[in-house]
């Protein structure tokens, strides 16, 4: 158990910009852990100092922990995989419906998704790009222009940010989820997809691969080659056995997803408060 002082978990994007404050708090007896879920890309020196001064560092994936070791030489980072809340099972719709749930940002690669779908006009499908357009209005405009350039306005819906029943309606209709970000520390959308029984496509080399795991509920794609995303979606749309296999795997994964109580137990143990802590 902790033997005095205060324990604090600070968000990495805040704490990594204030290494002197982190060091000062630790020197004063505060046990300050940093939750590092996204690199402070523009200020690696500040991030390195802050993480090094902290009592400890928590990451959402082994992928993210390995990146910290490579970037800053940090070892023994605690990995606490995010949990997921139970969700209603997606029922699907008459036409295969594909969703991409992420803010419209260059890293999330929605233009790649639009370009891939533009090659599949000969097959039946609809899609929804679900996420705020306010984070990067210029990129959001680029995505919208791409949809219009390929004449996909009647097949791809840009919904903006959704929550509550409106978001659940999209999950309810979904047959496939796509998260092809160039970088992801974990990818909560992946486990949210599985919680709804929806298979997922992710990009290799990101933490989203770890979120998908060995479930067989979708695929991790090497998108360095041309048409890999389009080709995979085409195979899925054309192969009913593949659809069935991924769906079955997603439903199996849905029944075995860890909840947030598991995440909390991992973090509490790291802080010395959980079961098995010294």
Give SS3 for 37.
coil
Q: Are residues 60 and 106 in the same domain?
A: no
In a domain, 2, yes or no: no
Token pair recorded at residue 66: 């390995």
217-253 exposure pattern, b = at least 16 Cβ within 10 A, e = fewer = bbbbbebeeeebbbebbbebbeeeeebeebbebbbeb
Nearest-angstrom CA–CA distance, 123 and 139:
28
* Model pLDDT, residue 3: 39
Q: Are residues 202 and 125 in the same domain?
A: yes
* Model pLDDT, residue 41: 76
Q: Are residues 78 and 143 in the same domain?
A: no
- Report residues of the chain scoring pLDDT below 50: 1-4, 278
Q: pLDDT tens digits for 141-199?
A: 999 999 999 999 999 999 999 999 999 999 999 999 999 999 999 999 999 999 999 99
Nearest-angstrom CA–CA distance, 69 and 100:
31
* Model pLDDT, residue 5: 62
Q: How many CB atoms lie within 10 A of CB 44?
A: 13
Q: Are residues 185 and 144 in the same domain?
A: yes
Q: Are residues 167 and 222 in the same domain?
A: yes
Q: Are residues 137 and 12 in the same domain?
A: no
Contact 229, 116 (CB under 8 A): yes
Give SS3 for 214.
coil
Q: Are residues 129 and 235 in the same domain?
A: yes
Backbone angles phi, psi at 190, to 5 degrees: -65, -50
* Model pLDDT, residue 75: 86
Residue 55 C-beta-side C-alpha neighbours within 13 Å: 19
In a domain, 214, yes or no: yes
Q: How many CB atoms lie within 10 A of CB 268?
A: 16
- What are the E-state strand segments in 131-212? 156-160, 176-179, 200-203
In a domain, 11, yes or no: yes
* Model pLDDT, residue 1: 29
Token pair recorded at residue 201: 């496509």
Give the residue numbers spanning the domain of 39: 7-83+258-271
Q: What angle do CA 268, 272, 273 make, to 5 degrees?
A: 55
Q: Are residues 101 and 148 in the same domain?
A: yes
Q: Are residues 77 and 192 in the same domain?
A: no
């Amino acid at each position: 158990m902790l033997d005095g002082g205060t324990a604090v978990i600070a968000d990495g994007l805040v704490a990594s910009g204030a290494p002197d404050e982190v060091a000062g708090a630790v020197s004063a007896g505060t046990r300050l852990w940093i939750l590092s879920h996204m690199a402070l890309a523009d200020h690696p020196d500040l991030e390195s100092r802050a993480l090094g001064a902290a009592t400890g560092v928590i990451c959402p994936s082994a992928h993210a922990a390995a990146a910290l070791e490579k970037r800053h030489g940090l070892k023994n980072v605690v990995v606490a995989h995010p949990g997921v809340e139970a969700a209603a099972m997606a029922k699907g719709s008459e036409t295969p419906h594909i969703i991409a749930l992420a803010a419209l940002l260059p890293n999330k690669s929605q233009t790649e998704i639009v370009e891939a779908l533009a090659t599949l006009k000969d097959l039946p499908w609809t899609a929804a790009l679900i996420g705020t357009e306010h984070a990067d209005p210029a990129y959001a405009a680029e995505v919208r222009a791409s949809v219009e350039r390929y004449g996909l306005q009647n097949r791809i819906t840009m919904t903006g940010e959704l929550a509550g029943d409106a978001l659940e309606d999209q999950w309810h209709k979904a047959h496939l989820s796509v998260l092809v970000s160039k970088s992801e520390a974990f990818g909560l959308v992946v486990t949210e997809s599985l919680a709804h029984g929806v298979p997922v496509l992710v990009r290799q080399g990101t933490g989203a691969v770890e979120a998908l795991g060995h479930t067989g509920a979708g695929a991790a794609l090497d998108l360095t080659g041309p048409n890999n995303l389009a080709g995979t979606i085409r195979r899925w749309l054309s192969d009913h056995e593949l659809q069935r296999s991924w769906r079955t795997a997603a439903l199996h994964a849905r029944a075995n997803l860890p909840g947030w109580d598991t995440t909390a137990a991992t973090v509490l143990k790291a802080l010395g408060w959980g079961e098995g802590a010294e």
